[in-house]
Amino acid sequence: MYLLCRLILLLFHNGTNIKCYLLRPQLHTNPPPHFNPVQQHFQNQMQFQHKVVAKGPKLAFPEFEGTDPYGWIRKVEKFFELVAVPSEDKVKIAVMYLKGKDDYWWRGTGCNPVALPWHHFCRMLEDRFLEISSIEIIGQFHNLKQTSIVPEYIDKFEEFMGLVKRNNPSLPEDYFVSSFIAGLKDFIQHHLQCHKPSTLTQAFWFARRLEQANQ
């Protein structure tokens, strides 16, 4: 019983005074019924994410406008990394920022955001909103050539490389190193082949230095 108490009589033989101390037992608070720690953790995490989104433009979640799905996905993934969003929550958050015809498309898919993996969602978005097909992307990537300075060529190369990698994630790095070298201007390409770079980082560095040396 809540009001049950234990009476302890402590006798002190100092005359006629007898002191009685009424001690109440320590009460232990139990969690409310139906308490789900996993659900509570998720709710706390979502509240934290929404607070971070609302802090200001630097952390504002990008809305999808129906164009450049790959660019939007890159921004969203950077946001997810910054806020530490778990993989299972990514689709649920992302679809909240599809507006207009993009939202109509998503609703028309009939997919469950809870069960849909993030990489599947990205593939669906690209298939629907990319202006060129995956076959055209590979063709343009193979035909990519340096027409201006090396840094601009690197930027364009990395843009197409990201598209190619998303549809072909198992391609090794040496494939992209060879593709990068093949698109350089002849005088840079010939000198760069002598250095035999094994990574893209090395190939980019040598290409910049060779261009600077010939200016």
Q: Are 189 and 203 in contact (CB under 8 A)?
A: no
Q: Crossing angle, helix 37-53 and helix 69-83, to 10 degrees?
A: 120
Identity of the residue numbered 43: Q
pLDDT for residue 82: 86
CA 79 – CA 85 distance, rounded (Å): 8
CA 136 – CA 122 distance, rounded (Å): 18
Q: Are 43 and 92 in contact (CB under 8 A)?
A: no
According to DSSP, residue 21 is labeled E
pLDDT for residue 21: 38
pLDDT for residue 137: 83
pLDDT for residue 30: 55
For the chain (length 215 residues), average pLDDT per consecutive 10?
Answer: 40 42 46 55 58 56 85 89 89 91 92 92 88 80 94 92 83 94 94 92 95 87
**In degrees rounded to 5, what are phi and psi of residue 21?**
-115, 125
